[in-house]
Amino acid sequence: MLIKKIFATTIALAAGITWNIAIAGAGSLTAPQETITIEGKKPVHFNHKTHLDLGLTCGQCHHDADHQPRTAEDIAGLAGPEELSCASCHNDAFANPELQKRKDVFHARCRECHKAGFNGKKGPTSCTACHGKQKKAVEGC
């Protein structure tokens, strides 16, 4: 009897937690308006608006664990932005050794399109256009 009660309580708790996560996540995650920084040894500033204005869809950059493109609706329902972190999948543990290094995956996605162009528009391909100057002046000095 007692075991049955504990079991029922656990289920109710688990259901409650899932429900809370669903509420927190549902519809709340959208493309940031402000420029974000792609962190790493050679950080890059990235602006969603510039790219979405070209007519790109979310799934041209964001995909799931089965490599299926993520739609804006899929992204809205995620628990948090960390699920979109490229390096959360593309790291030393990734199955395909050619897609483990940050340089490889980001350059494949970002630089290749900049070279090839999209809707007749090319993007910048010089190292500094994305990575900025090697030596950064201290802000405000």
User: Which residues of this chain interact with ligand HEC, rule CB under 6 A?
Assistant: 29-32, 36, 38, 40-48, 50-52, 54, 56, 58, 60-65, 67, 72, 75, 81, 84-90, 96, 99, 102-103, 105-111, 113-114, 118, 121-125, 127, 129-131
Provide the minimum distance between the beta carbon of 72 and ligand HEC in the complex, in angstroms, as a whole number.
5
Q: How far is the CB of 63 from ligand HEC (least distance, A)?
A: 5
- Return all residues near 89 (Cβ < 8 A) that are at least 6 apart: 65
Minimum CB distance to ligand HEC smaller for 27 or for 141: 27
- Nearest Cα to 108, choosing from 98, 94, 118? 98
Q: Which is nearer to ligand HEC, 16 or 81 (CB)?
A: 81
Q: At closest approach, how far in Å is the CB of 9 from ligand HEC?
A: 33
Give the shortest CB-140-to-ligand HEC separation in angstroms. Answer: 22
Please, which contacts does 78-83 make with residues 24 or more away whose CB atoms are closer than 8 Å?
78/25, 78/29, 79/21, 79/24, 79/25, 80/25, 80/29, 81/29
Q: How do the residues of the chain divide into helix, strand and coil, expressed in percent and rounded to 5?
A: 50, 5, 45
Q: Residue of minimal CB distance from ligand HEC?
A: 40
